[in-house]
Amino acid sequence: MTPRITIVTPSFNQAAFIERTLRSVLDQEYENLEYFVVDGGSTDGSVEIIQRYADQLAWWVSEPDRGQTDALNKGLARATGDIVAYINSDDYYLPGAFESAVAAFERTGARWVAGASRFVNEDGSLRNVWRAELPRVGRHMWVVGPVGWPQPSSFWRRDVFEEFGTFREDMHYVFDTEYGVRLALAGVLPGIIDEELAVRVVHSQAKSWDTRPFEREALKIVELHRGQLSLAERARLAPIEIYKRARLRLAR
């Protein structure tokens, strides 16, 4: 049998985009799919769109939550898939994404895999393609860089979350990066897929439109993981951290 894949879509007031997201998951026609939609109590017509697809969903809910990570962790708590992933309600998968991810798990033996993500404007015009790659610099740069992987094109074995925990609910912007750093520091590196698996839509209402909150929260990754570095790595980290904190203070 093909491995079961659980996909979670967190959403809040994304009626302009969510149907394309839903269709991109369902149109994969993957035979062993478990699909959850966790809506935060939308009031813009999103719920009516979700209801149209309810018979194709394993579970969905629309209720107030504590934000994106709370929604994701609700879905992860219910997941029964061998492989899990999440796609935000304004992003979408490209055809064949699930088959490519499954093949990468089989080919690499990795516990998580990351492919490329295409970034486009609302009109569909291409901005850039972010290709995943293994970290090539010292571990001190993983926490302060921080190193990252294209989230829309990332898939994990469910047992990774059982071993390393779920997404931090006290982080709202770089929780996915922190999770990747958490795994990498434990020696769990991704298998890399060169193919483009998903599309991130860049628009003015997206949380990622303003990068300043991301830069501020990224320094929390340093605080969380500094203790896992050697004394020499911490010494190399210190001046970079000082510089980044000073730059943020000037920006304010």
Residues 6+ apart with CB under 8 A from 180: 147, 148, 149, 154, 190
Residue 96 DSSP code: T
Report the pLDDT value the prediction gives residue 167, as an integer from 0 to 100.
97
Report the pLDDT value the prediction gives residue 248, as an integer from 0 to 100.
83
pLDDT digits (tens, 9 = 90+) for 24-41: 999 999 999 999 999 999
Phi, psi angles (nearest 5°) of residue 141? -80, -20
Answer whether residue 77 shows pLDDT above 70: yes
The DSSP result for 163-214, as a single string, is HH----TT-SSSHHHHHHHHHHHTT-PPEEEEEEEEEEEE-TTSGGG--HHH
Pure H helices in the chain? 18-26, 46-52, 68-78, 97-108, 139-144, 158-164, 175-185, 212-225, 231-251
Asked if 144 and 177 count as a contact pair (C-beta separation under 8 A), the reply is no
Query: Omega before 146 cis (within 30°)?
Result: yes
Global confidence as pTM: 0.94
pLDDT digits (tens, 9 = 90+) for 198-250: 999 998 776 666 677 888 898 999 999 999 999 999 999 999 999 988 988 88
- Measured CA to CA, the distance from residue 240 to residue 41 in angstroms comes to 41
Report the pLDDT value the prediction gives residue 150, as an integer from 0 to 100.
95
pLDDT digits (tens, 9 = 90+) for 128-138: 999 999 888 89
Pick the CATH number of 5-251 from 3.90.550.10, 3.40.50.2000, 1.10.3720.10, 3.40.50.2300: 3.90.550.10
